Chain A
Amino acid sequence: MSSVINEKPERMASFDNRPSASKRSIYRTASEFLLVLLFAIVVLETAFALAGIGDQEYLKPDPEAGFVIMPEHSITFRREGFSRNHFNKFGMADRQRNKAKEPGTFRIAVLGDSIIEALQVERSQSACALLERSLNDHFEGKRKIEVLNFAVSAYNIGQMYVRLKTLVFDFQPDLVVLFVRHHSTYDVIPQANEPFPKGARPCFFVGEGGKLVEDRTAFKQWARSGPGKRVYAFSWLREHSRIWGVIGKALEQASRDWAKMCSSLNGWGAEVSNKQTAFSLSVQSNSDGSPSTQTTASSGKSNLTANNSTVNSEAPFTKVDNAEKCIKCFFPIVDALIGEMSQLCLQHNCSFSVAYMPARDSAAELERKLCRTAAEKRSVAFMDLGAGFEQAKKVSPESIYFVCHLSKRGNAVLAATLKNSLLEKGLLKERPKLY
């Protein structure tokens, strides 16, 4: 080593007056290190806060719903569009609300996923905020309408059902609108080995006699797993540190790049980008092709059974062929969830309706048809928003979508379409008080 390392080259003149490591007190070095560490943390946290960086973590684990939004948390969203939003004290992507309802107020609770959560635009431009404004304008002060946004990113219909039970009814809504989206059926399928938050979702199945079965095995398994333990261990940092957010984002990106590299080496590059292959399925539906009425599953495992159907997560996935089979196979879960929610709403003296969001690129006719049937057989109002979106596409070429989510215009179109549907279906009428 001595030949390799020249201890004091001429160029080190500027460092020569520094005492050698041995002379230097270890306490001084340690205190200097800690001081600089503190300084670096303060500088980086401040810089990231000013620039709106590192705050992308806003979901925390929840044993009931799998995950919920961190209350009183701010987020700067840059992935699609741009927004700086703050979640309220109840963990809603909404302004601060009181649970107690003012007399004469008509409350609409909206359940949905990231499309309705609308982090891609400023809060005032989200579909819920626009709908509230537009309905209040419509009634010209004669009635007060509040539209409460209970949507959470990556929520499936099962989680929306949990949110309805655990939070929504505290706000005494007069109407609950459930947003069902193209391919919502896929999301109710337990996704083993998925990272947080999807891996922490609770599972729902249709048991004996068509009864809804709630299964938290997947969440428990996730919580016991390494990634789950890490999320819990660093929960404070996830919630409060932007530096942690940057590290998390970098690690996530690195693992994604690594996976991409590995898969491209294996010649699977093109397949990985397809979201549906994340849970590859090979489904044999009933022989007559009808939706299965009984679906059971062992959550968190790779093999699921659905009536006469076998689902093997290892099997290759043929997109077009299996998409319809998959919907037919798993829609009974969605159907049962809609049924349970309508029952709950009835018990809480509020109206319930299902709004179907159109797909961006594909018709998804089957899912729409099944949703309509599930709603109508329970006398639940079904709002098909497809026509409104088609009309908007014809009127102006300005994009309705950023990438997957709605743009400013998309939110405005959604609010307008929903307002028309609500008025058309007479859903804004007060329900007679039960007690």
Chain B
Amino acid sequence: MLYWFSPKTSRRLLLLLASYLFYMSWLPVYGILIFFLSICNYLLGLAIDRRGKNTKALFISGLCFNLGMLCYFKYTNFFISTFNEFSACGSTLLHKSEIFSLPTINIILPLGISFFVFEFIHYLTDVYKGDKAIKNPIDFGLFAAFFPSQIAGPIKRYQDFVAQLGNAEVFDGHLFHTGLVLVLQGLFKKIALADNLAPLANAGFAGSSNLGTIDAWIAAVAFALQIYFDFSGYTDIGRGSAKMLGFSLPDNFNFPYLASSLSDFWKRWHISLSSWLRDYLYIPLGGGRCSRLSKSRNLMITMLLGGLWHGAAWHFVIWGGLHGAGLIINHSYDDLVRKFAFLQKLHMHTAGKCFSTIVTFLFVLTAWVFFRADNAHIALEVLGSMLTPARSSSVLELYLQSPINVAFGLYGAYALLFSLDNYRCFTFTTALRQKLRLALPTRVLVYASAFLAALGFCPSNPSPFIYFQF
């Protein structure tokens, strides 16, 4: 309300201040960090833009500066602990009693640093390639600190964002309404679905050494669904808040677990990150227009770094490696399908599509187990339990006590009625809504009910957003 009723000229500044206030409410000192990074990248962008193409050194120093910041805050302790582990191994092998180890540094990871550093890299790269830099420092500051996407994305493209700055001058009732629907949907996904799935996954992974078969499956599937609803819930809240302010942020998810192949999965899961990795890592490495070996190498490097981006731990690297290997196999299989007509027919058939979807989901599920487990040993224990028949107990019991099934039912009804317009198979709901033509008070009532439902299903100890740690 404050935003829409403030004068047009001061809205951007107001939004910028609100974004800094939002970020600094977590840890005030890191407001200075984001301000410093914004100033540096703003000046670098201007310098690259003014000097034209002969700014390779400036561009590379900009990249190094941003990646250096990311590495310092996120990976310093990871590198130190890895070095110490190698040092300990070396000492054992060489039968030395003294182990040389480096002390770890007490660093608090700034919220969302992985996201805004990627946005800065995209900005500098595109300006270096010839796009216009943002001249107005307030506009650039807003691009860097825009609160709906600040903590966990989606990773914006500055060209789209700047183009919308003019939109924020006129109140759009429909956009506001769509935003509200998205915020409510995101809230429900997070507190009613993800937070009720979390105890199932936590119980399974905490007791990995003593899991029954069904327990292990429930824990793995619960985590796959938890991470989807947690992250897509956050994205919905962020996108919805942005819409209420007159901005459209890129979509991040499109029913990822219905993907029919792994490459399809990456077109549906965390779309803003996968497209960033494609544009700023995979293609610069050579992309797919090279020999099969080079293409496979590029895929593997992209996915390994994508895994490491998620967190400074080896299990994330394994997760990235698994996806890299999966994509290499996927691409080779696609080549094979193109050669044989019967394989093409098989994949066109509904049963073939279903089979591909199931196989893809099982692969993604296996990779999630490595992502969620604290180390590879736990992941192998959970996977072992999934494949070894054993009596179930604790997690199954928790699942039967959980209100999650009813929450899923309610979510389905809400999504059908209000938020699946973009999907062809659900267009009938748009027609139904138009037929119903609910008046404003009635719509408010529906939203209040959705909010109440989310509150009702909220567990007593909600979990933090998973992607906040990245």
Contacts and interface: CB of A to CB of B under 8 A. Distances in A.
A14 B430 contact: yes
A36 B446 contact: yes
A242 B441 CA distance: 23
A91 B410 CA distance: 33
A40 B446 contact: yes
B225 to A, nearest CB: 17
A4 B170 contact: yes
A246 interface: yes
Interface string B392-411: 00000000010101110110
Given A12-B172, A47-B456, A78-B460, 11 more contacts: A5-B170, A9-B173, A14-B433, A17-B434, A17-B437, A32-B439, A33-B439, A36-B446, A44-B452, A44-B453, A82-B401
B142 to A, nearest CB: 20
Nearest to A246: B456
Contact of A29 (B171, B442, B453): B442
A100 interface: no
Contact of B445 (A9, A33, A78, A243): A33
Contact of B170 (A9, A43, A53): A9
B171 A6 contact: yes
B174 A47 contact: no
A9 B446 CA distance: 24
B4 interface: yes
Nearest to B436: A32
15 contacts: A6-B172, A9-B174, A11-B172, A12-B172, A17-B437, A21-B439, A29-B441, A29-B442, A32-B439, A33-B439, A33-B442, A50-B406, A51-B405, A51-B406, A53-B456
B175 interface: yes
Interface in A4-44: 4-6, 9, 11-12, 14-15, 17-19, 21, 24, 29, 32-33, 36-37, 40, 43-44
Interface of B: 4-5, 170-175, 401, 403, 405-407, 409-410, 413, 430, 433-434, 437-442, 445-446, 449, 452-453, 455-457, 459-460
B403 A12 contact: no
B407 A51 contact: yes
Contacts of A247: 452, 455
A238 to B, nearest CB: 16
A45 B4 CA distance: 37
A366 interface: no
Contacts of A250: 455
Interface residues of A, number: 36
A44 B192 CA distance: 14
A242 B460 CA distance: 16
A53 B434 contact: no
Q: Which of A24, A29, A36 has its CB near the most chain B CB atoms (within 10 A)?
A: A36
A40 B170 contact: no
Interface in A25-82: 29, 32-33, 36-37, 40, 43-44, 47-48, 50-54, 78-79, 82
Contacts of B4: 4
A14 B434 contact: yes
A14 B429 CA distance: 12
A54 B456 contact: yes
Contacts of B452: 44, 243, 246-247
Contact of B456 (A19, A44, A82): A44
A47 B403 CA distance: 9
A12 B401 contact: no
Contact of A5 (B173, B442, B445): B173
Given A6-B170, A79-B460, A247-B452, A51 B403 contact: yes
Contacts of A78: 401, 459-460
B319 to A, nearest CB: 33
Nearest to A40: B449
A242 B172 CA distance: 37
A82 B196 CA distance: 14
Given A4-B5, A11-B174, A51-B406, A44 B457 contact: no
Nearest to A32: B442
Contacts of A24: 439
A4 B456 contact: no
Nearest to B451: A250
A12 B434 contact: no
Contacts of B410: 43, 47
Closest 4 CB pairs of A and B: A51-B403, A51-B406, A246-B456, A40-B449
Contacts of B401: 78, 82
